Amino acid sequence: MSIFDHSIKDMHELLHKKEISVSDLVDQSIKRINEVDGKVQAFLTIDEENARKKAKELDGKLGENLLFGIPAGMKDNIVTKNLRTTCASKMLENFDPIYDATVIEKLNEVNTVTIGKLNMDEFAMGSTTETSAFKITKNPWDLNRVPGGSSGGSAAAVASGQVPFALGTDTGGSIRQPAAFCGVVGMKPTYGRVSRYGLVAFASSLDQAGPITRTVEDNAIVLQAIAGLDANDSTTVNKEVPNYAADLTGDVKGLKIAVPKEYLGEGVSEASRESVLAALKVLEGLGATWEEVSLPHSQYGVATYYLLASSEASANLARFDGVRYGYRTENPKNLMELYKKSRSEGFGDEVKRRIMLGTFALSSGFYDAYYKKAQQVRTLIKQDFDNVFSKYDVIIGPTTPTPAYKIGEVVDDPVTMYVRDLLTIPVNLAGLPGISVPCGFTEGLPLGLQIIGKHFDEQTIYRVAHAFEQATNFHQQKPQL
């Protein structure tokens, strides 16, 4: 059997019928990694010994949860007890955490099997997985192209059939954008829906963990397992976690869709625009209606995001100073040199760039002009969404302006790279949930459809995404590695 050919529910049924064992699933995952990861370069650490050990313990048992015994990959900024967590940075090259993140604990409770840790942009800063200190992950659809970022390793591992699902994190589009580039499903939940405890912080008011899967139903199953209130994270919200998969009825009759004109305007490729219009036709055929709307302040999203995210990053990354853990320079002459050299040698260029930008925005004399102003604009962006959601159920547009670009094409031009996130960033600034699902191809490369919902209304997003998925066959396409 191939992991490629089965949904999580299928695998669960095969386990219950005893047609396969958990060890068989883990064997298949590791076999596939050995076959293709030399080309894709998605994994940083493979925990084969412990994965096989846990699989043996689970063999013969019957777990009621659909995720029982399912192999998974974790983005390498999610801490895993006794399993190296590097954030793809020299700064944490030898860091072995002493505890599990809450999302890992929740997956352990339902007995998933962690296969290993996945490559990413260093400290989640980037859109291509090229800023990793260790390797460049390749897009399974075209090995000369990027898989997106910062969760590029997670998306590439799922797209290439190495694991049935992976966790990523999304600060400005870092789950949805790589999901779009790799032709898989990526969900950024509402801020506060999933605990951030044990995620290595980039921008605390924006970061969210979420699942990357091959189908919408698989995604809904994983989100249900990791969502919920956590005493260790005061930003989690005490709201009941629905059975997301139970609501996937395919019924979208009467659904009202808003399509922001800004999301189909300048900078969005013809192929991305056409794929969205074709997707809207499919949803119309299923009984939904759509109208064009405006999100006037979204044009300021990129500038607002990079000021706020960089400011939070400069504060969060101050803890990496060479004193307690992480990289430490050799033979510093004094304390100041220890700080300077440890940070300049341990961090990569993109991380340094954002720390400097953030420190500047927070500095005396510039705080009001930059950081405070950005927070005010963030409020306006959120109000734009609130106005649209007072009349419509979901907002739809492309996930990215273009398909995946070539390795090396934008990484040396940070402004161009930042602007490519213009469609995903506003969702994080407003704390909303958003999903990317495959909606077409151009020149053999996948395109993503972004569906944005109201706060804590992941159910409606999943319902729309599933209805579209069932009416099309884009999710069934596989890269030929």
- Residues identified as active-site: 75, 150, 174
Give me the half-sphere count of Cα atoms (radius 13 Å) on the Cβ side of residue 184: 37
> What are the tokens at 83?
């399993």
CB 448 within 8 A of CB 439: yes
Please give the single-letter amino acid code of residue 460.
Answer: T
The C-alpha atoms of residue 219 and residue 207 are separated, in whole angstroms, by 19
CB 435 within 8 A of CB 450: yes
CB 22 within 8 A of CB 59: yes
Start-to-end CA span in the chain (Å): 18
The C-alpha atoms of residue 327 and residue 307 are separated, in whole angstroms, by 27
Q: Exposed (0-12), middle (13-18) or buried (19+): which is 270, by Cβ within 10 Å?
A: exposed
> What are the tokens at 284?
């119309």
